[in-house]
């Protein structure tokens, strides 16, 4: 493997899909026909690719010795010696500057979102990832910040219920990941934070966060200004409920979840559910405004 390939692997391209969340605001704000909105969201997407990639690089430098002892993580570029710690840190610094520059080029609110994400994730890398429960909450907060940034980029407020649902879904993915890590490393816990968990507690946290996500989205579809203006948005709830149920079935039935992006990108049922949700949401938000409701469309609150 050449140096360029190793550096690309260091940024974890498979994780870039998480940043697609910034485009959600375009859908729910009814701006899918706006070229300016797509441009702003696209720049935000790239900004978060840079930001998250910088965090991965710094994390791999800090964890290189522990990763070298792990069956899978020992193949990471820094742990395997393909990329030196110094090179990884230089790349991280360039990516941070790029992320902040892109945020600044959009607007001050998006810059603040990108900066907040970086500060929170750096705190996670250097300390918070060793604190049980707080670690998954910090990871979930990163998704909420992405959703907020998507709204700030196109100057559209994002519903509090939609943010709550986003955070709960991220918490479900995070706790499911910890659950599978705990089960696969039982008897030899390489991640210090796993010692603060129990399998039973993680099982409960996965179900708890999934339930919160389902309820939050249902309330958003029913009670938010967008839901009241576009009653057919309720038609999207079966997709959300099925998607959550399918993920729980895979986590508890097939013992997956350690790599959430692999599950989300490879399970045909979940892929079809996501596509169906997007199509249904676009249709629901294009239907007529309910009688007696205020005109126009907003993403929140």
pLDDT per residue as tens digits for the range 178-213: 998 888 876 566 677 888 889 899 999 999 999 999
240-267 mean pLDDT: 86
> Into how many domains does the chain fold?
2
Q: Give yes or no: residues 48 and 166 share one domain.
A: no
pLDDT at 150: 95
Q: Is the peptide bond before 234 cis (omega within 30 degrees of 0)?
A: no
pLDDT band at 280 (very low <50, low <70, confident <90, very high): very high
Average pLDDT score over the chain:
88
Q: In this structure, what CATH number is given to the domain that contains residue 50? A: 1.10.357.140
For the stretch 84-141, pLDDT in tens is 999 999 999 999 999 999 999 999 999 999 999 999 999 999 999 999 999 999 999 9
Considering the domain architecture, whether residues 78 and 179 belong to the same structural domain is answered as: no
pLDDT-derived band of residue 30, with 50, 70 and 90 as boundaries?
confident
Residues 91 and 218 reside in one and the same domain: no
Q: What is the pLDDT of residue 284?
A: 92
What is the distance of C-alpha 192 from the center of its chain? 23
Give 38's pLDDT tier (boundaries 50, 70, 90): very high
- Extract the tokens encoding 280: 């249904």
**What pLDDT was estimated at residue 78?**
84
Q: Do residues 243 and 277 touch, judged by C-beta distance below 8 A?
A: yes
Judged by average pLDDT, the poorest of 44-53, 126-135, 178-187, 268-277 is 178-187
Structure tokens at 273: 């559910």
Residue burial 272-296, b: 16+ Cβ < 10 Å; e: rest? ebeeebeebbeebbeeeeeeeeeee
* Same domain (yes/no): 135, 183: no
Range of the structural domain that residue 193 is part of: 159-289
Structure token pair of residue 146: 């992405």
Specify the DSSP class assigned to residue 13. Answer: G
Place of tokens 């938010």: 224
pLDDT of residue 260: 78
> From its phi and psi, is residue 296 left (phi > 0), alpha (psi between -120 and 50) or beta?
left
Residues 194, 152, single domain; the answer is: no
């Amino acid at each position: 493997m050449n140096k360029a390939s190793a550096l690309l692997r260091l940024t974890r391209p498979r994780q870039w899909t998480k940043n697609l969340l910034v485009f959600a605001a375009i859908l729910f704000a009814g701006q899918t026909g706006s070229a300016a909105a797509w441009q702003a969201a696209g720049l935000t997407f790239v900004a978060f690719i840079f930001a998250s990639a910088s965090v991965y690089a710094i994390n791999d430098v800090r964890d290189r010795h522990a990763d070298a002892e792990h069956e899978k993580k020992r193949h990471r570029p820094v742990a395997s010696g393909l990329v030196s710690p110094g090179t990884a840190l230089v790349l991280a610094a360039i990516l941070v500057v790029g992320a902040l520059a892109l945020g600044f080029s959009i607007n001050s609110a998006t810059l603040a979102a990108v900066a907040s994400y970086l500060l929170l994730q750096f705190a996670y890398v250097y300390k918070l990832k060793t604190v049980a429960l707080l670690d998954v909450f910090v990871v979930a907060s990163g998704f909420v910040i992405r959703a907020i940034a998507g709204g700030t980029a196109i100057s559209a407020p994002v519903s509090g219920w939609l943010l709550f649902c986003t955070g709960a879904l991220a918490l479900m993915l995070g706790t499911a990941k910890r659950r599978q890590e705990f089960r696969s490393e039982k008897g030899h816990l390489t991640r210090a934070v796993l010692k603060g968990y129990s399998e039973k507690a993680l099982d409960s946290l996965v179900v708890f966060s999934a339930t919160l996500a389902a309820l939050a989205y249902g309330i958003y579809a029913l009670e938010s200004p967008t839901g009241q203006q576009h009653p057919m948005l309720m038609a999207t709830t079966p997709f959300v409920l099925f998607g959550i149920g399918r993920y729980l079935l895979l986590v508890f039935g097939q013992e997956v979840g350690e790599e959430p992006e692999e599950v989300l990108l490879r399970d045909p049922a979940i892929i079809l559910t996501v596509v169906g949700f997007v199509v249904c949401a676009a249709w629901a938000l294009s239907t007529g405004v309910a009688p007696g409701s205020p005109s126009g469309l907003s993403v929140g609150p």
